[in-house]
Structure 1
Amino acid sequence: MRSPKLLLVSTLLLTGSLACAQTTQPAPTTPAAQAKLPAGVTFVTEVEGIREYRLPNGLQVLLFPDTSKQTFTLNVTYRVGSKHENYGETGMAHLLEHMVFKGTPTSGNLMEALGKRGAQFNGTTFLDRTNYFETMTNTGDNLEWAIRMEADRMVNSKVSGDDLKSEMTVVRNEFENGENNPIQLLLKGVMNVAFDWHSYGKSTIGNRSDVENVPISRLQAFYKTYYQPDNATVALSGNFDSGKALNLISETFGKIPKPARTLPPQYTVEPIQDGERSVTVRRVGDQQLLMAVYHMPSIRHPDTPALLVLQDILNDEPAGRLYKALVQTKQATAAGGAADFMQQSDPGLGLYFVMLGKTDDLGKAQATLLDTLENPRNLTFTPEEVNRVKTQTVSGYEQLLAKPEQVGVLLSESIGAGDWRLLFKLRDEIEKVTPADVERVAKKYLKPTNRTLGTFIPTPQPDRVEVTAAPSAADLLKGYVGRAAQSAGETIAPEPAALEARTQRLEIAGAKVALLPKKTRGERVEFVMNLDFGNKETAKQGLDSAGFIAPLLTRGSAGLTRQQLADKLAAIKTQLSVSGGATGATVRVSTDRTNLPEALKLVRKVLREPVFAQAEFDEIKKSSLDELEAGRNEPQSVAGLALSRAFSQPGAKRGELGYVPTLDENIADTKAVTLEQVKDYYRKVWGAAQAQVAVVGDFDPATIKAALPDILGGFSSGVKYARVTLPLVTPRAQDIVLNVPDKANAIYLARVNFPLRDDAADYPALLVAMRVFADGTDSRLFARVRQKDGLSYGVGGGASVSSLDQKGSFTSYAIFNPGVTDKVAAAMKEELARAAREGFTAQEIENARSAIMQEARVARSSDSAVAGSLANQLFLNRTYAFTADLETKIKAVTPEMARAALAKYVVGDNLVIVRAGTFGK
């Protein structure tokens, strides 16, 4: 089975998050309020470990320390989004988000600076807010630098006409990329029709002509109005000293004067909708879509908790009403919804969608969708449905609070809705929701006259829905305290030697095992188990069928239906996933200390007692086929397949391991797979011929030692295991141009293969060369193609090198407007030739070495990533000593070593290049 993952609609809602109003609190009496604070700084309140302070200039500060982490996340939220844009200014908030990365008169380009420090960073814009965040290791001057940088760009960003010229084309390229996506195209049309006057009807990315023509003076005025301390919240979470951080924030941000201006009022109220509305988008594509939206109240409205429970009851999988009505009946590939537009400061939308195959009956699916959503007979709800959603919600909150780096960013959503504490208040209110509450709001809001879909139908007696006003955040949160903060974990330096010193390596039930017990926030545990099985002959037999096994394992076990398994996992606060194919599988579990034994019992049940239900197999197969069809006219899919086929094994025939099938062949092969073939491969081949297990977090090693014999004992493969290897393929250079009709965005892909292993002498130098040339926002490719020429929103590349075989490859990519295809191809070629010829500067090499080290530290700060690394080490018979040695070698790389490695392995004359898009005649 070869098929791409289904994209969730919630990830395609253009650009995203939210903004905030200020509240007045009573005089605090907690110990935090009594602590000595910087001059003029006042303590406001504390909820579940998050403390709020206010600076004299109006800046709101939130601190959420967790010294068990090695990283901190600094998030700055400005209460400005696309809602605040005026006529001719659509997309301005998002465009400004891009512009402030260009730096200040004293800072230089911030993307380059963040990249050099190995930061994980981004900026996002949505309806009510814009936010910027960076996650970095708390080493050296990273924290001080980040705070000073954010204070600097708050009011000193250049926002110059010269920068606008190049960045406008980058944003336009991002706009064009969205024009390739059928879901985004349909969503934009639905939003425009659903709202008559409110700015929520405009997409955050904006109107193309506004983006192209906005005067720099209007952008500068927008920046000066909204990027001010009294309109911002600084949230710092993770590893830092609260006292020192607050002093530094006071010193830097506190110097910014409180502005004298008054923010423009927002007073537009969307009128009540008078009847059904519809919109039809006709573009080239291979997938049918339905979307229905209903006007909903502000997140602060008393109906919202019940509406969010309703949303999950309808959208969940596999228990969701829409999933059962449309997917399980084979009327559609996927069905669900997104709550993003329901969680805004002003009244928003509840959104529901259906994805269908090219030949599915659209009319029948539409009738089923509307009957499920609007028929009063279907709008009653059981305690089981409501309690399931509430359990999932509480479990999600507990898992969220165990990760301060996510909390700091997600608070932007609640800030945009009125107050950061709404994140916790909403959780509490959801726990109180009853089936009667859900039925009441469903029948109130899910009405045809409140819906956008289909055609307009005159109605003699309109059944209009009035969304009443919500209370202010201050009134809603009077006296709110919240719950006790989770206990913090311990600190282990994310260095190879420190991690190795805490790791226990042993053998249990024939498996290689690595255990790293430690205290963690929320007593969380990460478990990874890799299974190896099969050989070249069996892999050939399971070429198309073996890929169905892993997704089927979590869709039902003996005595446990798919829904029962999902409910059980939610009840024990556990996430469990199984992935794999013809020669191996990986099981991942994220749970806590208390529930680890029960979670491991479920691992055994899922792996060894599958039921392989025909209905579940049919669903997966249909989804796979529909997704394959959806890629038929998608430039990225078309180009990716063409590039893969160029690297097929020479002489390989259809049905052999080294052969890459065409799309039609892939579809035909997938259609031919039967459930009996899947079950037969599982019975004969799947098992623990070899196994590696890694566990990191808050657990008792005795728990693992007791569970593994039960999981693995007798679970052996029926065939002899032999790792499958194929010869390195080095095809001749090619430049393939593929025309895909009616697409606003095109894709450039390039690849070259070479013989290299990751323990070779050249490997460290190639890593450093890649970091300078292609990998990062401070790379040569990014600087040229995006920053200087403004040809692409996304451009980059990197090298992948095997740990076992002499196999390596370099790949690069860029997305772009089809009209500049020759400029993109030339720029990519010129930068590679220049790097191979002239090499790199000493400063570039120093920055690259430092960034690689810091990025590695960030990765090793994640327990999940460490568990994966340990499992991989067990397979390779390595320890962190290999990592330490590699980092020592990276530190010794010189400019000449990096240039020589690049020139030796990444030979421009050998590149296979594929470009796909609408290039005209």
Structure 2
Amino acid sequence: MGIDINLIFGVLSFCATVFAQDKGDNFTKIKELGGIEEYLYEKNGMNVLLLQDNASPVVTVQVVYRVGSKNEVLGSTGATHLLEHLMFKGTPSFNKKNGNSIAEVLLDVGAELNATTWLDRTNYFETIPSDKIGLALEIEADRMRNSLLLKEDKEAEMTVVRNEFERNENDPGALLEKEIWASAYIAHPYHHSTIGWKSDIEGVSVEVLRDFYNKYYWPDNATLTIIGDFKKENVFGLIEKYFGKIRKAPTMLSQLYTEEPEQYGARKIIVRKPGELGIVKRAYKIPGALHQDLPALNVLGKIISSGPSAILNKTFVDTRMGIYTHARPTNFKEAGLFMIGVDFPTTSKHEDVDSKLSEVIEKIQKDGVTQDEVDRVVAEISAESVLRRDGSGVISAELTEAIALGDWTEYVTGVDKLKKVTRADILRVAQKYLVEDQSTTGYFVPKENGSQNNNEIKASKFKSEREPFYYRSKKEIDNTRDSSFITLPKQIDNTLVSDLDDNPFKESGFSYKREKVAGIDLVSVKTSAKDFVTVTGSISFGNYANENKNGVIPSLTAAMLSKGTRMKDKFKWSDELQKLGVNINISASKFKLDIAFKCLKKDLNQVVALFAEELRDPLFDSKEFENLKLQFAGNMQQNLNDPSERGSIALIQAIYPKGNPNYRASIEEDLENVKSATLKEVKDFHNKYFGPASMHLVVVGDIADGSKIKNSLNKSFKNWNGGVIESLKFKEVIKSPSKSQVITIIEKPSAELFVGQYTGLKKSGADYTAFYVANQVLGGGFSGRLMKTVRDKEGLTYNILSGMAGNVNTGGFWVVNASFNPVLFQKGLDATMVQIDKWIKDGITTEELEKKKTSIIGSFKVGMSTTEGISGTILSFIERGMEPDYIEQFLKDIDKVTLQQVNDVIKKYLQLDKMITIKAGSLDKDSTPLK
């Protein structure tokens, strides 16, 4: 069987008008390394990096400006980041008044777009169907010099950025790290965080921002990168067309010359805020990333923190003195910090943890590390450098950081430098840089217990069906959390297509094969990926979620798998994986086990053997089990002070009654469940539910005919039996009248809003597709109505989205989530309800429907350009009992959706008088902001 991915990708594609020509006299080739070609555009001094890969019809266009928060001065800290936001507000050619704002135009063709600001650089990028490359280049050239930077946009966006600042302040670890940087560097501009100080965010004038823009945003201070599907003979003409009219900067760009003065002794800071865990972070000054000592420091950071054999894990986690540990050197251009941290329960004391950290450092400085530790980490990093290069967007992001350092070739040569690191190098850098007088230590001291509403419940963070438009990376959900209830459908469910007269699977270069191997349902897909494969899979837990048993047992069982096998203890097992650069990510909800990993093609047999050993023969050591329970309890306790966690928890409990599979226990109940959980329960769960009966595996990448993976599975999973095949039982939920609830959590500058209700929609239901499209118009990302109004127009929130959530095979629910400053909370709620009311009463328009269809087509094209996108797509189908080629009918089903159907399903499943509203944060019982 063959999947015609090319037709899927190109279902509405057309030939872009390009200027085919040789590079001509205006482009001078500088160098070529690792397949990347560097050119200088002589007209205006802009650097150009090209990496051509025509395997998938997707391209990433990016402009990296060599300006970051280090270029700011007092009074305008955060200017680079605020400009990042404003540069999406438009130009004379692209703006919201014309109905063609930058974000909307790009999202309408399905682009994934973003911009990020950091200490040394700012980047703007879009991963886009390659026939739209001209549009991406036109927009990036236009906003380079023509951004409007209007006062009214600045005033609205200021509150958006302030809300982003406030969201970060909710996180104890992020808050502590910000304070450490401010204390460690007192002269160098790394002193202030990239987002800036709150008073500067609020007070900076648009004139100051405009001056900053006019100083730094020029082609000779920028690097244009184009990665993916393009023709080099055409791309030079496009660059000439769109960037050729932009001149060099009128004045020479100033260079940073401030140096940090010598530090004459250790510094210590203390942050006291509500929380559940203590934190100690130690930071040592180190040089910039291009310094010859950084490779050794990078290897040292991995040795200290990566894997069960890491020094910090053995010292703190295995002894139950700590719950989480980390160590890493920053890799910034000018200077940096080597950061070591421990999160720990209140049974440990800050001073004891601090003292033990000193002992760890002193031992390293005295004894150094072993050659085996060096070899293991270097091998891990070498493999990871290949495995990460999955898609043009990922490559572009990594290249950005090398550009920021001043030498893009670091992207290619960095691993080779790491391979040259010796034991002697690590001993030398430890003795040279991990010096007490050059250190800054921070304590986060929890002021009080955050449990104030004993009736509240536990759930994971809300995630959107389609990831919204973020200016910042999102913090990943911890794998130990049960995320199934509030994780929304994956990328595949964004799929939409029109004009499907042909079978989208025929005559494709992408072929798949589905067969039973060792009892496992295996789907293998050959793609153009080079030297690596991606594996995604799952095992169903049948009706467990409806049996009212201890809800933490599945997650505890999954977490125990990495704690060693009956053949290898956790150190030997994890060390073997680390040498291969592989992380086997296994997590569980009450519904299923999720599996994901990548490995090099050459290591496939070895990785599958380790994976099978982990699944089939876990050690289930009693000491490890007690340590794990402590970690779970600490993670749950942290949620007591998280408005997002507690708000989503309350919403789920308000929608689902006890006994429904989607119902969640309270945090207090889950803590008791962890405390009472026994190793026997975990073993019994593993014996019953783990096996090939309901196991799916999707393997995508460089697998030729699939025989290697088939042979590996047959060898490693031979004679493995078990698992269950059973349907999940549930009772339909009866909607209750509207309800409003406030969850008070003190000293949180950002509060969370949840508005939702039960729909009962199932993925297999006839109305699911129409409702999905309807929701995308309201809150499916930056082009949705909610983002356009509540965020973009009124500037009330950093992020607002809507989606279908819950286990939608049992009857899901619909929800809107946003964050607001407590003072603006009621205004934000009112603005949100205006849009919800209008959407339910009036529905969507024909124009909105057609634009959303076009957007989802392009989004699907981009999403299927990586091995992870393909494997996740196929898995989502086969979990629902379909063949991989259900893509054919699925796309047609969506294409059939009419405006009448969309507007009918909104009214059918949602009623304004049955909305549930949850408010979580620094608000009193009457929703008044706390002082």
TM-score range, shorter chain: 0.7 to 0.9
Contact 1:331 1:360 in 2 (8 A): yes
User: Does the alignment pair 1:386 with 2:386?
Assistant: no
For 1:750, the equivalent position in structure 2 comes to 755
Residues 526 and 867 in structure 1, CA contact (< 8 A), matched pair in contact too: yes
Aligned runs of 1:9-88 on 2, under 5 Å? 36-56=22-42, 57-88=44-75
Match of 1:143 among 128, 133, 136: 133
Opposite residue 335 of structure 2, the aligned amino acid is: P
Closer, same or farther: CA 833–534 of 1 in aligned 2, 3 Å: closer
> 795-804 or 837-846, which moves further after superposition?
795-804
Deviation at 1:324, TM superposition (A): 1.6
Q: How much has 1:866 moved relative to structure 2?
A: 2.1
Give 2:194's aligned amino acid. T
Paired position in structure 1 for 2:336: 348
Shift in Å, 1:562: 2.4
**Structure 2 residue 195 is matched with structure 1 residue 166:** no
For residues 770-810 of structure 1, the C-alpha deviation after alignment (integer angstroms, 9 at most, x for no partner) is 111111101110011100110000101112487755x2321
Instruction: Answer yes or no: is the 8 Å Cα contact 1:748–1:814 preserved in 2.
Output: yes
CA drift of 1:445 comes to: 1.0
Structure 2 counterparts to residues 603-618 of structure 1, below 5 A: 603-618=611-626
Q: Say if 1:604 and 1:710, in contact at 8 Å, map to a contact too.
A: no
Q: Distance in 2 between matches of 1:95 and 1:111?
A: 16
Note the 1:240-259 alignment, pairs <5 A: 240-259=230-249
1:274-302 per-residue CA deviation (whole Å, 9 max, x = no partner) reads 10111111111112111111110111212
Q: 1:494 to 1:387 in 2, by over 3 A?
A: farther
CA distance in 2, matches of 1:874, 1:192: 51
Q: 1:102 aligns with which of 78, 85, 89?
A: 89
1:358-409 CA deviation, whole Å, 9 max, x = no partner?
3322221111012212456655111111111211121122223454431212
Establish whether residue 589 from structure 1 lines up as the match of residue 597 from structure 2: yes
CA distance in 2, matches of 1:507, 1:316: 36
- SS of aligned partner of 2:244: helix
Cα displacement string for residues 878-903 of structure 1 (whole angstroms, at most 9, x for unaligned residues): 23553333322433434333222222
Q: 1:507 aligns with which of 494, 516, 529?
A: 516
The one-letter code sitting in structure 1 at the alignment partner of 2:54 is T
Structure 2 letter corresponding to 1:59: M
CA contact (8 A) 2:517 2:714 kept: yes
Give the residue type in structure 2 aligned to 1:126. Answer: W
Q: Which residue of 2 aligns with 1:877?
A: 881
Mapped to 1, the partners of 2:782 and 2:539 lie a distance apart of 36
By how many angstroms is 1:315 displaced? 2.0
- Describe the SS at the equivalent of 2:265: coil
Question: 1:536: how far off?
Answer: 4.3
Partners of 1:499 and 1:864 lie apart in 2 by 19
1:890 to 1:280, Cα distance in 2 relative to 1, 3 A? same
Amino acid at match of 1:61: V
1:758 corresponds to which letter in structure 2?
K
Aligned to 1:191: 181
**RMSD (Å), alpha carbons:** 2.4
1:273 aligns with 2:251: no
Structure 2 SS opposite 1:419 = coil
Looking at structure 2, the residues matched to 664 and 600 of structure 1 have their Cα atoms a distance apart, in angstroms, of 39
Q: AA paired with 2:525?
A: L
Mean CA deviation greater in 787-796 or 249-258: 249-258
Distance 1:636 1:307 in 2: 36
* Cα distance in structure 2, aligned partners of 1:892 and 1:55: 48
Q: Distance in 2 between matches of 1:353 and 1:495?
A: 51
Moved more, 219-228 or 592-601: 592-601
Matching of residue 706 in structure 1 with residue 711 in structure 2? yes
Structure 2 residue 399 is the aligned partner of structure 1 residue 411: yes
Counterpart Cα distance in 1 of 2:758 and 2:777? 20
> Residue 112 in 1 paired to residue 92 in 2?
no
Contact 1:533 1:717 in 2 (8 A): no
Aligned counterparts of 2:722 and 2:433: Cα–Cα separation in 1: 55
Cα-to-partner distance string for 1:525-557 (whole Å, 9 max, x where unaligned): 223333235544995445332321112112211
Deviation for aligned residue 1:626: 0.6
Task: Map residues 473-488 of structure 1 onto 2, 5 A cutoff.
Answer: none
CA distance in 1, matches of 2:833, 2:885: 38
Paired with 1:761 and 1:909, the residues of 2 have a C-alpha distance of 25
In the other structure, the counterpart of 1:309 is 299
Q: TM-score, normalised by structure 1?
A: 0.87
Q: Which residue, 207, 220, 230 being the options, matches 1:217?
A: 207
1:715 aligns with 2:720: yes
Q: Which runs of 5 or more structure 2 residues have no equivalent in the other structure?
A: 1-20, 96-100, 444-501, 924-928
Please list the CA deviations of residues 87-113 of structure 1 after superposition, one character each: whole Å capped at 9, or x if unmatched: 211000000000000010111222222
CA deviation string 1:825-845 (max 9, x = no partner): 111111011122223232211
Structure 2 residue aligned with 1:569: 577
Please say if residues 545 and 661 of structure 2, whose CA atoms lie closer than 8 Å, have aligned partners that are also in contact.
Answer: no
CA distance in 1, matches of 2:614, 2:603: 16
- Which residue does the alignment assign to 1:26? none
Percent identity over the alignment? 30
Which structure 1 residue ranges, 5 or more long, are not aligned? 1-34, 456-492
Q: Could you tell me which residue of structure 1 aligns to residue 607 of structure 2?
A: 599
Aligned length: 839
Instruction: Give the Cα separation in 1 of the matches to 2:276 and 2:591.
Output: 32
Secondary structure of the residue that 1:330 maps to in structure 2?
coil
Say whether 1:553 aligns with 2:541: no
Q: Higher mean Cα deviation, 859-868 or 497-506?
A: 497-506
1:295 to 1:585, Cα distance in 2 relative to 1, 3 A:
same
Question: Does the CA contact (< 8 Å) of 1:550 and 1:581 recur in 2?
Answer: no
Q: Per-residue deviation at 1:203?
A: 0.6
Please state how far the C-alpha of 1:82 moved relative to its aligned partner: 0.6
Contact 1:102 1:110 in 2 (8 A): yes
Paired residues for 1:545-694 under 5 Å: 545-581=553-589, 584-649=592-657, 652=659, 659-694=663-698
Aligned ranges 1:439-518 → 2 under 5 Å = 439-453=427-441, 502-518=511-527
* Counterpart Cα distance in 2 of 1:215 and 1:292: 37
**Which position in structure 1 is the counterpart of 2:119?**
127
Task: Give distance in 1, aligned partners of 2:758 and 2:794.
Answer: 28
CA distance in 1, matches of 2:861, 2:314: 44
Decide which of 778, 781, 790 is 1:773's aligned counterpart.
778
CA deviation string 1:291-339 (max 9, x = no partner) = 1111101112122111111222222222222222111111111111233
**Deviation of the 1:499 alpha carbon:** 6.6
Does residue 1:725 correspond to 2:729, yes or no?
Answer: yes
Confirm whether residue 839 of structure 1 aligns to residue 843 of structure 2. yes
Deviation string, structure 1 residues 636-686 (Cα, Å, up to 9, x no partner): 122122112212325x4xxx8565222111111111112232123223443
Q: Is the 8 A contact 2:320 2:627 kept in 1?
A: yes
> Which residue does the alignment assign to 2:481?
none
Asked if 1:203 corresponds to 2:203, the answer is no
Q: CA offsets, 1:51-101, max 9 Å, x none?
A: 101101110000111111332111211000111011211000000000000
Tell me: CA distance 1:582–1:195, structure 2 relative to 1, closer, same or farther (3 Å): closer
Tell me the equivalent position of 1:282.
272
Deviation at 1:558, TM superposition (A): 2.5
Match of 2:909 in 1: 905
Distance 1:911 1:494, change over 3 A: farther
Partner amino acid, structure 2, of 1:229: P
Kept after mapping to 2: 8 A contact 1:402/1:522: no
Q: Equivalents in 1 of 2:858, 2:87: separation in Å?
A: 24
Preserved contact between residue 513 and residue 874 of structure 1 (Cα < 8 Å):
no
Q: Does 1:785 align with 2:765?
A: no
Distance 2:26 2:510 in 1: 46
TM score, norm. by length of structure 2:
0.86
Q: String of CA shifts for 1:232-259, please: whole Å, max 9, x gaps.
A: 0011111221221222112211221112
Q: Does the 8 Å contact 2:64/2:224 carry over to 1?
A: yes
Distance 1:544 1:788, change over 3 A: same
User: Take 1:364 and 1:498, find their aligned partners in 2: how far apart are those partners?
Assistant: 66
Greater shift in the superposed pair: 385-394 or 91-100: 385-394
Check if 1:433 corresponds to 2:421: yes
Provide the residue aligned with 2:79 in structure 1.
92
- Residue equivalent to 2:476: none
CA distance in 1, matches of 2:800, 2:920: 15
Partner of 1:483: none
